[in-house]
Structure 1
Amino acid sequence: METETALAHLSELAVSYSLSVLGAIVLILAGIIAASVLQRWVGNSLRRFPNFDETLVRFLSGTVRYIVLALVLVAVLAQFGVQTASIIAALGAAGLAIGLALQGTLQNVAAGIMLLALRPFRVGEYVDASGIAGTIEEVGLFATELKTADGIYILAPNSELWNKAITNYSRNALRRFDLAIGIGYGDDIEKARKILIDLAEADERVVSVPEPSTFVGDLGDSAVVVTLRYWTATIDFWSARFDLTQAAKQAFDKNGISIPFPQRDIHYVPAEAPKPPAKPRRAA
């Protein structure tokens, strides 16, 4: 009798647990399928936005997938009668502790998400973020890789870049430059201005709109500063600057326009000769 009761009890447990196992398998399979479907849907939806970074798309879609899988795990544990409330509380406490321990890292991740979403700079652009300057090599979730003009590698935390003003020298299509050259006070100002304008108009890298212009920018101590203002494509900025500076010097030399050195007039005022001491008077 006792044996029959035990067998009946075991059969009930077997049936009960088999149903739980079957339900857990169904939940796991359904959860994996749902996680994959949601991951693809989020990824495809985000890719519809122009200029949305692929790294951020993968991060957000992967995050959605892991959230769904975590919910499925909780549901499977509940299927076997496990008290999930305590597990969720423990996971929350562990997550809080991990978040406090990785506060700086999470801050970099948040800054990386904002940098990838707003795109203040892209790969290949030259930027300066309050002293952190270089060409962008790669933008990651934790840090950004840069290369300076002299080939030095920089790994900058994203929080450092996000919390500072960013100057992007490559973003706009055109850049302006003022080529200021000092000429002598006795030289012909109009002739110097015409030479500079002719140089700018002859250079194919100088755009016609806005058109180049010249003006007297300053009256210095030893020179009249004549300025050529012109615009070029950003990619041609440095080459045009170097070439036009050299061409301006050669053209001024050829046309007899001087570029004076700093000068200062010194007036010498001789001091008065010392007077001879007065002779003492003799007593009468």
Structure 2
Amino acid sequence: MSELLTEFDRLSELFPTTPLKFAVSIVALGLVVGVLLAYRRLHAWVAERARPLYADIASMALLIATCAVSLAVVLGVWGQTAELSRLYDDFGLGGDGVARAIFSFLLLVVTVIATRFVRRVIEEVLGSSSAVTAHQRKVTHRLSQVIIWSVSLVVVLGIWIEDLGSLLVGAGFLGIVLGMAARQTLGTMLAGFVLMFARPFEIGDWIAVDDNEGIVTDISIVNTRVRSFDGEYVMIPNDVIASSMVTNRSKRGRLRLEVEVGVDYRTDIDRAADLAKAAIEDIDEALAAPSPQIVAKSFGDSAVILGVRFWIDKPSARRYWTARTAAISAVKAAFEDEDIKIPYPQRELSGRAETGGFRIADDGETTPAGSPSDDGKSTEHRMTTPEDR
């Protein structure tokens, strides 16, 4: 190994002056930068002409070889390979150490290639399934990355550490302690995985969780981000969502709206219902199927309450309020055209027949001087019952 490094010292003799050394170093570094910039295009070019796995191997091998050669050239030009050889001898890195280092490096390279291969497999296998969303495919890919890298690091540690079992036992106890200390965080993360795979809602859905309502913009392992209708972003922990009642208003791609309207007790209910239904059918926001429905809901204090129900598609906050406003305007206009009264809240006062009812009495009293009354007096009207007489 030291003899191989010493061979690069000849470059310092070929380029004896400092400007030449700088020029060669810049060219070597520029070669690395050029390979890094052309890495993706090179990978795509090889993938078009061969298997993607071969493209991964070829592009990775080219990148590693370029970095190794450029580093050796820079060290050789500046005459530092002898110093590197001395450090190699001082640390006693024999053939066994070099072999382990090379094996560890190759294992890490294989791990990178394996993660890319698994990602392509996940995209090809799960990408054709409509039951699996892009977000779930991404989560599956992340989990596969964690598993592959964990196995690879354990193997690398096993190469360099003889008593790996004790280290793993210690790591297990440390994991238990950390799990007990951060059980809230772990519970939130587990709830996040459940949400990602159970799919009670997806990105873009309109949901309501307790007092929070809005459009889902992101689902992570820790929390779910919701954009409220006021334009604010609310971060809801996943464990809160898992333990709360969640309403998904856009799961089926449509939403039913209801507008309540009161009509006078003397109005023909069937006629008012027909007018309201015709008015709703004329607005653009309402779906034709399912058709609008008008139901009599209750006897109000001043009116019979009708429920005007209709559906909208692609529910969102904007479409919700636009459709609701259009429905109220259409029903009000239709009732006004047909002289159907939408009564104000009112109260009816009556006296008991067995007590003689009540009467309105006029009592004349003198008003203070300077009163605007024509005769200097005002009339006070009050209600009296037979008990007052």
User: How would you bin the TM-score normalised by the shorter chain?
Assistant: 0.7 to 0.9
Contact 1:35–1:64 (Cα < 8 Å) also in 2? no
Match of 1:5 in 2: none
Count of aligned positions? 257
Q: How many angstroms apart in 1 are the aligned matches of 2:258 and 2:214?
A: 23
Q: How many angstroms apart in 2 are the aligned matches of 1:93 and 1:72?
A: 20
Q: How many angstroms apart in 2 are the aligned matches of 1:229 and 1:27?
A: 70
Q: Deviations over 1:216-273 (max 9, x none)?
A: 2323332122332222214343321211112211221222111112233222353546
Alpha carbons of 1:226 and 1:144: their partners in 2 closer, same or farther (altered >3 Å)?
Answer: closer
Match of 1:148 in 2: 228
- The structural deviation recorded for 1:99 is 2.2
Q: Deviations over 1:42-74 (max 9, x none)?
A: 433433323141541342132123212222223
Alpha carbons of 1:103 and 1:42: their partners in 2 closer, same or farther (altered >3 Å)?
Answer: farther
Report SS of the residue matched to 1:121: coil
Q: How many angstroms apart in 2 are the aligned matches of 1:128 and 1:250?
A: 33
Higher relative contact order, chain-length normalized (CA < 8 Å, sep 6+): 1
Contact 1:56–1:117 (Cα < 8 Å) also in 2? no
Contact 2:280–2:331 (Cα < 8 Å) also in 1? no
Contact 1:108–1:159 (Cα < 8 Å) also in 2? yes
Report SS of the residue matched to 1:170: coil
Is 2:340 the partner of 1:257?
A: yes
Report SS of the residue matched to 2:94: helix
Match of 2:156 in 1: 73
Contact 1:55–1:140 (Cα < 8 Å) also in 2? no
Match of 1:103 in 2: 183
Q: 2:324 aligns with which of 220, 241, 251?
A: 241
Q: CA RMSD in A?
A: 2.6
Match of 2:71 in 1: none
What aligned pairs does 1:131-280 form with structure 2 within 5 A after superposition? 131-235=211-315, 236-269=319-352, 270-272=385-387
Match of 1:13 in 2: none
Alpha carbons of 1:113 and 1:161: their partners in 2 closer, same or farther (altered >3 Å)?
Answer: same
- TM-score normalised by structure 2 residue count: 0.60
Q: Deviations over 1:86-131 (max 9, x none)?
A: 1111121222222223222222222222222223222232211222
Match of 2:144 in 1: 61
Is 2:128 the partner of 1:128?
A: no
Structure with higher helix content: 2
- The structural deviation recorded for 1:171 is 2.2
> Which letter does structure 2 place at the counterpart of 1:155?
M
Contact 2:119–2:141 (Cα < 8 Å) also in 1? yes
Match of 2:89 in 1: none
Q: How many angstroms apart in 1 are the aligned matches of 2:243 and 2:159?
A: 43
Contact 2:292–2:309 (Cα < 8 Å) also in 1? yes
Alpha carbons of 1:43 and 1:107: their partners in 2 closer, same or farther (altered >3 Å)?
Answer: farther
Larger-gyration structure (1/2): 2
> Which letter does structure 2 place at the counterpart of 1:242?
T
Alpha carbons of 1:19 and 1:183: their partners in 2 closer, same or farther (altered >3 Å)?
Answer: same
Q: How many angstroms apart in 1 are the aligned matches of 2:233 and 2:151?
A: 39
Q: 1:51 aligns with which of 133, 140, 143?
A: 133
> Which letter does structure 2 place at the counterpart of 1:179?
V
> Which letter does structure 2 place at the counterpart of 1:103?
R
Residue identity (%): 23
